[in-house]
A and B are shown apart, each in its own frame.
Chain A
Amino acid sequence: MRAMERIGILVGVFGFTVAAIYWAWTHSTVLGTEWVGVVGLILAGLLGFMIAWYLWMTRRKLDRDPSDDPLGDIDEIQGDYGFFSPHSWQPLFLGASAAVIFLGLAVGWWLVFIGVFIGGPALVAWTFEYWKGPKAL
């Protein structure tokens, strides 16, 4: 996890540095500051820092991560990684309804409404799929 954190810091530092250089470079041209590049690079840097900051916060709360230990054994990292859905029809319905909604933006509002009325139940079904009944998560 520390490796990911450091990559995040690297991306952040790179973004801010290049943004500063880019600002200074375009600022002195005839056309003036090129804002798309400056804003995009600053926020790309923030993207990196955001991930690094979050991983740092998480690292403080948890025990030592075996993957950070260069002398660690592979089997130290085994354990419960959380729940992964084995199979489900809901993503298909969700994706199909999203496709219909966005197609409707081009075709006409009637298709958007059809998509929303398929998508609403699909969203609820997907959210509650593993959270009801005796085998709830």
Chain B
Amino acid sequence: MVAVGTMVWLSSELMFFAALFAFYFTLRGNLPELWTERTADLDVPYAAANTLILVISSVWCQLGVWQAERGVPARPAGTSLFRVREWGMREWYVVTYVFGATFVAGQVYEYANLISEGVTLSSDSYGSIFYLATGFHGLHVTGGLLAFLLIIGRTFTTRRYTHAQATGAVVTSYYWHFVDVVWIALFATIYLLQ
């Protein structure tokens, strides 16, 4: 029930991003010269590297989900951290968190660079939609990172790792994969299509 409900909610979140995409394409259709001028300032290789970090974090997340479904919340007590084969959901989710946080840091650094070049939220229409779309996405990623912390924390408070716990891990992964797919669409639209 929780999983189905999460999926339905995510499809509504898709509509939220639909509005931002519609915003982007409308402005782009009406202001072609502004677009040509502003898209020249974008650092596509940097954004591609950041995208790769987020996509890889989804891989770690899925590995964590498979461990959660097998009922393995964490590596057995006393096992070395380097025995990756014995990692449980907790270890994989921590790695996912680190990669996700790196992505956010990368976004912040990119924002700082663009602002120093004069592209701000209020500089012009391009700035508006760039920061709104990528910013709302970044906020979603940050919310997802918070969810990871809570789900990891929940594995420490109970004695048994139940199906209910695994469901929590699974729906967090749904959210994370969704955020990843939305970013791929945003990256393709803003940086590749331009």
Interface, chain A (partner B; CB < 8 A): 32-33, 35-36, 38-40, 42-44, 46-48, 50-51, 54-55, 58, 81-83, 123-124, 127-128, 131-132, 136-137
**Could you tell me if B4 and A131 are in contact, using CB atoms closer than 8 angstroms?**
no
Q: Mark B8-35, 1 if CB is under 8 A from A, else 0.
A: 1011101101110111011011000000
- The distance in angstroms between the C-alpha atoms of A42 and B8, with both chains bound, is 17
Residues of A within 8 A of B105 (CB): none
Q: Does B150 contact A (CB under 8 A)?
A: yes
Interface of chain B: mostly helix, strand, loop or mixed: helix
Q: Count of B residues near A, CB < 8 Å?
A: 32
**Could you tell me if A137 and B164 are in contact, using CB atoms closer than 8 angstroms?**
yes
**Could you tell me if B158 and A82 are in contact, using CB atoms closer than 8 angstroms?**
no
Task: Kindly identify which residue among B1, B12, B150 contacts A127, using a CB–CB cutoff of 8 Å.
Answer: B150
Residues of B within 8 A of A137 (CB): 158, 162, 164-165
Q: Which residues 34-81 in B have Cβ within 8 Å of A in the complex?
A: none
Residues of A within 8 A of B95 (CB): none
Residues of A within 8 A of B158 (CB): 131-132, 136-137
- Least CB distance from B176 to A in Å reads 15
**Could you tell me if B15 and A39 are in contact, using CB atoms closer than 8 angstroms?**
no
Interface centre among B3, B21, B160 (most CB of A within 10 A): B21
Residues of B within 8 A of A36 (CB): 22-23, 25-26
- The distance in angstroms between the C-alpha atoms of A51 and B2, with both chains bound, is 14
**Could you tell me if A50 and B162 are in contact, using CB atoms closer than 8 angstroms?**
no
**Could you tell me if A51 and B29 are in contact, using CB atoms closer than 8 angstroms?**
no
**Could you tell me if B165 and A40 are in contact, using CB atoms closer than 8 angstroms?**
no
**Could you tell me if A127 and B22 are in contact, using CB atoms closer than 8 angstroms?**
no
Interface centre among B22, B28, B154 (most CB of A within 10 A): B22
Q: Mark B113-147, 1 if CB is under 8 A from A, else 0.
A: 00000000000000000000000000000000010
Q: A32-B29, A35-B29, A39-B18 are in contact. Are A123 and B7 (CB under 8 A)?
A: no
- The distance in angstroms between the C-alpha atoms of A40 and B22, with both chains bound, is 7
Residues of A within 8 A of B160 (CB): 136
- The distance in angstroms between the C-alpha atoms of A39 and B23, with both chains bound, is 9
Task: Kindly identify which residue among B10, B18, B29 contacts A44, using a CB–CB cutoff of 8 Å.
Answer: B18
